[in-house]
Structure 1
Amino acid sequence: MILVMGATGTIGRHLIRMLGETGTPFRALVRDEAKGRALGCDFAVGDLDRPASLAPALDGVERLLLNSGGALPVAGRQPMVRQQTAAIDAARAAGVSRIVKVSAWRPAPEAKLSVRAHWEIEQHLKSSGVPWSLLRPTGYMQNFFTGEGGFTAERAVSGPYGQGRVAYIDAYDIAACAAALLTGPEGEGLAYDLTGPEALTHGEIAAKLGVPFHDQTPAEAGAELRARGLPGWFVDDLLWLYADMASGGVSEVTTAVRDLTGRAPRSFDEFLAAQPPHTRGDPSS
């Protein structure tokens, strides 16, 4: 039995469909019972903020997908660290035989925001005694349709990206890699850096989306973010992430998706072709 955390999210929805199509026994973890019923599969209601609620969901579970959304930090701390480390402890107590964690690209102690948070969680997982595998994807292609890809109210890709290239990945491919690790023998004690098949500039991405590209200086971007009411320290950390992309820190293309799934990852064009017709060319949909 596999327990899928984040079952209603970007990766989880793809994953439960893949597992269902192969007849693999799985259970979806949801916070809202109505959303669980809407999935049309076995589900359990639990909340990462209430670790005791996870015990029933983990009953009989052999492998766990550890994945949750990154809520805004509180006083500089990411709630995800507390939530996921508690989930790891609950999985250990339940006798789970492997945890597959969706992490982030190149997590490190000197990183910022959720990237550092993922590093902290990885350290806890590695010391937990539970066998583990790590998936470390770059930015998701879906971000350009969820408001997290640098869009402005003018329907343009905007940010201090410069000519930096990013090897964005489709969440569909992350789910496929997770499915391979959750159902197969490979991957124990290994970390996989996941990318798409190509590294694109944000100008090239904007052209594919059919919207303008507004390249900003870090000062311009910072002023705009502060004008939205974001705290200064948070803006500074966001600018660190932007600078990493602009300098090519997320431009490497790896073979990890092919290694795990036996096929090439989706290109940005293939990702766009898979979107519902009414959203194509309209990132705000």
Structure 2
Amino acid sequence: MILITGATGSIGRHLVRRLTAEAIPFRALVRRAEQGDELGCPYVVGDFDDPSSLDSAFAGVAKLFLNSAGAVPAAGEQPMVRQQLAAIEAARRAGVRRIVKVSVWRAREGGKLAEGAHWHIEQALAKSGIDWAVLQPSGFMQNFLTGAGSFTEDGDLIGAYGDARVSYVDCQDIAACAAVLLTGSHGTGRAHVVTGPEALTHTEIAAKLSAAFGRPVRYVDLPPRQFADRLIAQGVPAGFAADVAALYAEVAAGALAATTTTVADFTGRPARTFDEFLADLPASATRTA
């Protein structure tokens, strides 16, 4: 039995569909029953912040897909670290044999925000005694639909990337890699960087969004410090905004420009392009974007 956490997210939903289509036994961990009902798959209600609910959720589970959303830290705390460490400990108590975790590309000691938080969790996972694998994806193509703070009030794309290229990846491909790691016998004991097949500038992405949305979309580039000031004006803590600005500066210097063959290595097919991602969007998504 596989337990999927983060099942209602951009990766989790694709993984639910894939395992369902392949008739692989699994259940989703959700915080509320209505979320499980909406997914339409077997589920159990639990919460990372409630250890007793995790013990119940992990009963009979052999493999775990570990993924959860990050959050703006309060007073330096990263809730995701506490929550995922609790999940790893619950998995250990339950006798889970394998954990596949979603991390971030360039997770490292001392890294800012998610990069440092995920590194800390990765270290604990490697020391857990459980067979493990980590997926370190580049930025998600889906972020251009959810917004994720990347659009102006006029609907233009905004960032602090300059002319740097980023190898965005479709969450469908991340889920496909996760499915292979959860059901196969190779690829464990290491981290895998997952990217799309091409690296695009945000000006190029804005042009593709214009064609898909049927309206003009410009890319508005700001200096990292000015972008941080914009976040602060929206109520984001100053320290968090400064860290975001530092990460933007790294991306602008080319930190996420490389591509990998991980998707093809795991699935036997090339990673999906940005054009393929946009072509598969439902009409409702492009009309409301």
CA distance in 1, matches of 2:69, 2:269: 27
Contact 1:209 1:282 in 2 (8 A): no
Q: Name the residue aligned to 1:172.
A: 172
Moved more, 36-45 or 173-182: 36-45
Please give the secondary structure, in 1, of the residue aligned with 2:135.
strand
Residue 264, structure 1, aligned to residue 270, structure 2: yes
Among 260, 266, 283, the alignment partner of 1:277 is 283
Moved more, 269-278 or 78-87: 269-278
The equivalences for 1:14-33 within 5 A come to: 14-33=14-33
CA distance in 2, matches of 1:152, 1:51: 40
Contact 1:104 1:115 in 2 (8 A): yes
Residue identity in the other structure for 2:245: L
* Equivalent residue pairs, number: 283
Shift of 1:281: 6.6
Residue identity in the other structure for 1:21: A
Shift of 1:24: 0.4
CA distance in 2, matches of 1:199, 1:34: 38
Contact 1:149 1:157 in 2 (8 A): no
Contact 1:159 1:214 in 2 (8 A): yes
Q: TM-score, normalised by structure 2?
A: 0.95
Q: TM-score, normalised by structure 1?
A: 0.97
Among 209, 229, 237, the alignment partner of 2:235 is 229
Shift of 1:219: 2.9
Residue identity in the other structure for 1:138: S
Q: Name the residue aligned to 1:99.
A: 99
Shift of 1:282: 4.9
**What is the CA deviation profile of residues 171-229 of structure 1, one whole-angstrom value per residue up to 9, with x for unaligned ones?**
00000000000011111202110000100011111111110111111232122122112
For residues 137 and 119 of structure 1, do their structure 2 counterparts lie closer, same or farther at Cα, with a shift above 3 Å needed?
same
Please give the secondary structure, in 2, of the residue aligned with 1:200.
coil
Please give the secondary structure, in 1, of the residue aligned with 2:142.
helix
Residue 249, structure 1, aligned to residue 241, structure 2: no
Q: Name the residue aligned to 1:218.
A: 224
CA distance in 2, matches of 1:218, 1:39: 38
CA distance in 1, matches of 2:287, 2:264: 28
**Unaligned 5+ runs, structure 2:** 211-216
Q: Name the residue aligned to 1:161.
A: 161
For residues 94 and 46 of structure 1, do their structure 2 counterparts lie closer, same or farther at Cα, with a shift above 3 Å needed?
same
CA distance in 2, matches of 1:132, 1:184: 12
CA distance in 2, matches of 1:188, 1:154: 45
CA distance in 1, matches of 2:68, 2:236: 23
Contact 2:224 2:246 in 1 (8 A): no
Contact 1:105 1:136 in 2 (8 A): yes
Contact 2:159 2:220 in 1 (8 A): yes
CA distance in 1, matches of 2:122, 2:159: 30
Q: Name the residue aligned to 2:84.
A: 84
CA distance in 1, matches of 2:225, 2:257: 23
Please give the secondary structure, in 2, of the residue aligned with 1:254.
coil
Q: Name the residue aligned to 1:181.
A: 181
Say what the alpha-carbon RMSD is for the aligned residues: 1.1
**Unaligned 5+ runs, structure 1:** none
Please give the secondary structure, in 2, of the residue aligned with 1:280.
helix
CA distance in 2, matches of 1:23, 1:171: 21
Moved more, 107-116 or 219-228: 219-228
The equivalences for 1:131-146 within 5 A come to: 131-146=131-146
